[in-house]
A and B are shown apart, each in its own frame.
Chain A
Amino acid sequence: MSITIQELTPGFVGEVSGIDITQPLTKAQAAEIEAGMDRYAVLIYHDQRFTDDQQKAFSLNFGALEDTASATIVTGRRLDADMADVSNLGVDHKPLARDDRRRLFNLGNQLWHSDSSFKAVPAKFSLLSGRIVVDAGGNTEFADMRAAYDALDDRTKAEVEDLVCEHSLIYSRGLLGFTDITDEERATFKPVRQRLVRVHPATGRKSLYLSSHIGTIIGWPMPEARAFIRDLTEHAVQPRFTYSHKWRQFDLVMWDNRSTMHRVRRFDETKVRDMRRTTVAGDRSTVEQLAA
């Protein structure tokens, strides 16, 4: 059976059929998918009834998995450390209370971001499996940071070319007024540096490396940096650069964090939404970090 990728958004989102990714892949199949990722940046698969172990096995075709523990607040875990729990459920598998600290922290996912941009070596791919989905709301939206970069005028391209930003979970959560962060978390979430314009290692294409985790630009006054990042983000998430994914149960969506942003939309959080993410680690920093 051969893999078919149907283009949903030109050069950005592809829908994959003709393959069961819950089962081990051949090297050729994995290479074909990786090539599809380089071409599209977002790939969608339907009816893939993953267990956590199968999802991990599929993800490992594309690199080592990130440890997700350092990417969230300290709390009881429902899933093991290779699985990011992107549900609205507590350890008792019931929806979190309205004022639950984890829920309030997770609301940050409603801001446009690139996964793990707050890590010195940020993520390559993320793979999100819809185990239980909601009928209304809860779409995941994706924005193409290559197309957004290409559409900048020449003066702006020159201005952003060598800028370096600071990213931290503390910044994105601060935007929503979530400041209830422990000293231990504050140490874990210490800002890291990333180039604002990055080059994809496989395709050589430039893209805007934006994320709500950005708190400032090195050498800029913070308010000026934030106002500028807001303007760039507004440019980059215009409808012509975005795609909205409405979830069906057992969809798997994978995206390249090096060339996209994404966000989740609001839904009725008294309903169960159980999404599980694996994250393939990147292999390099985008810029030299400060000495610790």
Chain B
Amino acid sequence: MHIAALKPDFVGEVSAVDISVPLSPDQVSAIEAGMDRYAVLVFPDQPLTDQEQCAYSRNFGELEATLIGQMSKPAERRLGPVEIGDISNLDPAGKLRARDDTRRMYALGNRLWHSDASFRATGAGYSLLSARVVPGSGGNTEFADMRAAYDALDPPTKASIEDLITEHSIAFSRGELGFADYGAGNEDKVRPVRHRLVRTHPVTGRKSLYLSAHIGTILGWPMPEARAFIRDLTEHATQPQFVHAHRWQVNDLVMWDNRTTMHRARRFRDLHEVRDLRRTSIKGIAMTAEQVPALAAE
């Protein structure tokens, strides 16, 4: 197995390994070490079935369903196992979603810079995205290095944010786009959770900015001031020197560490072209901040 850096210590391209078959513990360790160093790994030319993707992903922890999967009724789902996140523009019948389709509106939130599942108390570990069908143009996924973004802050800013606690909810990111239709019975899934703004990676000890479009406020701050500040930090953290754009080829698998990166999808002609990506996510194993009692009891 070989890893070539695409940017210094950010995004590695992995070759000479077949991830569709069971891996040895040494191979898994080598990939984890690569993730700790590069935060994003790209595996070109890895045709995977959903089962193979789940099996490969389980090397890195327990799988977690996407929130939209959990909020959907079975008839609303195109794919079988709830652990497979449907990152496509297709409806359950396999047709392109209509322009005003609610699920399409929800998915537009992926065009905002975010860290997966930061609206959960434990966040997410890795996410793994496999490209089955890609559009002719557009639809890149961009990644931003939150370790480098943190390192580049000036010392007064570092000191001022060190102990800040943010509130995250899917309702905040979707609210930015004017979307608020989650379906009945899903109110509990949009309740805010708390996270540290500066988190420390459990293996490398490196600090990073834990930013996400799901952030709605900072504890103890007036909301508009918090949001203006989070926007400034996000603008800093997503400058070109911290960002890599991945242009998808069929059968690419890209995995990233949600603890140290943000990502977003770019626009494509989604009413005319198919983009079928499948995501698996690894559950986060630790909270970054104490939750309010009602949530801690869950």
Contact = CB atoms under 8 A, between A and B. Distances in A.
A239 to B, nearest CB: 9
Contacts of B223: 104, 176-178
Interface string B202-219: 000000000000001100
Given A227-B177, A228-B267, A266 B99 contact: no
A177 B227 contact: yes
Contact of A223 (B178, B216, B228, B229): B178
Interface residues of B, number: 28
A230 B231 CA distance: 13
A177 B177 contact: no
A182 to B, nearest CB: 17
Interface residues of A, number: 27
B224 interface: yes
Contact of A266 (B100, B111, B176, B232): B232
A29 B178 CA distance: 47
B155 interface: no
Interface centre among A173, A175, A215, A228 (most CB of B within 10 A): A175
Q: By DSSP majority rule, is chain A's interface helix, strand, loop, or mixed?
A: helix
Contacts of A230: 111-112
Given A98-B225, A177-B224, A221 B111 contact: no
B178 A176 contact: no
Given A221-B100, A224-B99, A107 B224 contact: yes
Contact of B178 (A105, A173, A177, A222): A222
B293 interface: no
B222 interface: yes
Contacts of B222: 98-99, 104
A108 B231 CA distance: 12
Contact of A107 (B216, B225, B267): B225
B3 interface: no
A226 interface: yes
Given A107-B225, A176-B228, A266-B232, A222 B267 contact: no
B225 A223 contact: no
Contacts of A92: none
Contacts of A223: 105, 108-109, 174, 177-179
A263 to B, nearest CB: 10
Nearest to B98: A221
A107 B221 CA distance: 13
B153 to A, nearest CB: 14
Contacts of B232: 110, 265-266
A184 interface: no
Given A107-B224, A177-B217, A177-B224, A227 B111 contact: yes
A122 B199 CA distance: 45
A216 interface: yes
B267 A221 contact: no
A175 B108 contact: no
A107 B217 CA distance: 14
Contacts of A98: 222, 225
B225 A215 contact: no
Contacts of A222: 177-179
Interface string B253-285: 000000000000011000000000000000000
B267 A227 contact: yes
A191 B1 CA distance: 58
Interface in B224-243: 224-229, 231-232
B210 to A, nearest CB: 19
Nearest to A176: B224
A231 interface: yes
A175 B225 CA distance: 11
Given A223-B105, A227-B111, A104 B178 contact: no
Interface in A228-247: 228, 230-231
Contacts of A266: 228-229, 232
Contacts of B174: 223
A175 B176 contact: yes
Given A99-B222, A266-B232, A226 B227 contact: no
B66 to A, nearest CB: 18
B177 A226 contact: yes
Interface string B163-198: 000000000001111110000000000000000000
Given A177-B223, A222-B178, A231-B266, 6 more contacts: A104-B225, A174-B175, A176-B228, A178-B223, A224-B108, A228-B267
19 contacts: A107-B224, A108-B224, A174-B175, A177-B227, A215-B178, A221-B100, A222-B177, A222-B178, A223-B105, A223-B109, A223-B179, A224-B108, A226-B176, A227-B108, A227-B112, A227-B177, A230-B112, A231-B266, A266-B229
Minimum-distance CB pairs A-B, first 9:
A176-B224, A222-B178, A223-B177, A177-B223, A104-B224, A223-B105, A176-B227, A223-B108, A226-B177
Interface of B: 99-100, 104-105, 108-109, 111-112, 174-179, 216-217, 222-229, 231-232, 266-267
Interface of A: 98-99, 104-105, 107-108, 110-111, 173-178, 215-216, 221-224, 226-228, 230-231, 265-266
